[in-house]
């Protein structure tokens, strides 16, 4: 059926979008409130909405890998990331229509719920700061920069957990 990766991508691109604007507009959103939802499902739907919204974060991480730099995969991911954000918006609308009000700027809340340590470890720690100074001043300048960063993190209550490994020495029996 498919000879190359490009054939797969071309096929995918030709497929009609299941959640077209016309389809979404045809949903009887006003009727949702007439079908009560078990409140136990609200946390599940919130989780699903948030996971769909995190796709942009996954996408940015994937782009940093050899797989994400593959042109065929990247083109697929461009479309996929857009579709997933649309799914998040639709799930949020469903929650509101079902009687579970969400914040107007719920996306900001979702992003804020990501632990700061994750953000630092994933995005900031990959940045190297190297002062442009005379060789003999490098160690002092680098130390001052590291100290300033540490103080900023402490003021913001950002704690970076360092990996820990436990080693047990067991005597042979």
Structure token digits, residue 98: 């079902």
Burial 78-113 (b: 16+ CB within 10 A, else e): eeebeebbebbebbbbbbebbebeeeeebbeebeee
104/92 Cα distance (integer angstroms) = 10
Question: Hey, is 12 helix, strand or coil?
Answer: helix
**Which range scores top for mean pLDDT: 41-55, 69-83, 159-173?**
41-55
93/25 Cα distance (integer angstroms) = 12
Q: How many CA atoms lie within 13 A of 53 on its CB side?
A: 21
Domain span holding position 167: 115-173
Domain end (from 83, 113, 143):
113
For residues 135 and 109, state if they share a domain: no
- pLDDT single digits (tens) 98-125: 999 999 999 988 888 887 777 666 665 5
- Count structural domains, the chain: 2
- pLDDT single digits (tens) 36-71: 999 999 999 999 999 998 887 888 788 878 888 888
Question: Hey, is 125 helix, strand or coil?
Answer: coil
For residues 79 and 93, state if they share a domain: yes
For residues 167 and 93, state if they share a domain: no
> What pLDDT sits at residue 43?
94
- pLDDT single digits (tens) 122-154: 665 555 667 788 888 888 887 888 788 878 888
- pLDDT single digits (tens) 3-35: 888 888 888 888 877 788 888 899 999 999 999
For residues 87 and 154, state if they share a domain: no
For residues 47 and 122, state if they share a domain: no
> What pLDDT sits at residue 168?
64
Distances (CA, A) of 105 to 101, 102, 110, 111, 115: 12, 8, 9, 11, 19
Domain end (from 113, 135, 160):
113
For residues 100 and 45, state if they share a domain: yes
> What pLDDT sits at residue 19?
81
Specify the residue for token string 């469903």: 94
For residues 122 and 157, state if they share a domain: yes
The number of angstroms, rounded, from the C-alpha of 161 to the middle of its chain's C-alpha atoms is: 20
For residues 136 and 70, state if they share a domain: no
Phi/psi of residue 39, nearest 5 degrees = -55, -20
Instruction: Name the DSSP class of 17.
Output: P
């Amino acid at each position: 059926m498919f000879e190359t990766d490009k054939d797969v991508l071309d096929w995918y691109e030709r497929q009609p979008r299941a959640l077209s604007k016309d389809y979404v507009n045809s949903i009887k959103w006003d009727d949702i409130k007439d079908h009560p939802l078990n409140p136990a499902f609200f946390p599940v739907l919130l989780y699903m909405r948030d996971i769909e919204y995190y796709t942009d974060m996954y996408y940015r991480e994937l782009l940093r890998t050899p797989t994400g730099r593959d042109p065929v995969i990247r083109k697929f991911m461009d479309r996929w990331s857009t579709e997933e954000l649309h799914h998040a918006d639709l799930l949020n609308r469903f929650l509101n229509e079902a009687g579970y009000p969400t914040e107007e700027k719920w996306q900001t809340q979702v992003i804020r719920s990501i632990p700061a340590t994750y953000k630092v470890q994933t995005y900031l720690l990959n940045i190297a700061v190297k002062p442009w100074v005379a060789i003999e001043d490098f160690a002092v300048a680098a130390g001052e920069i590291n100290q300033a960063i540490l103080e900023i993190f402490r003021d913001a209550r950002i704690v970076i957990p360092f990996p820990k490994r436990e080693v047990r020495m067991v005597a042979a029996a």
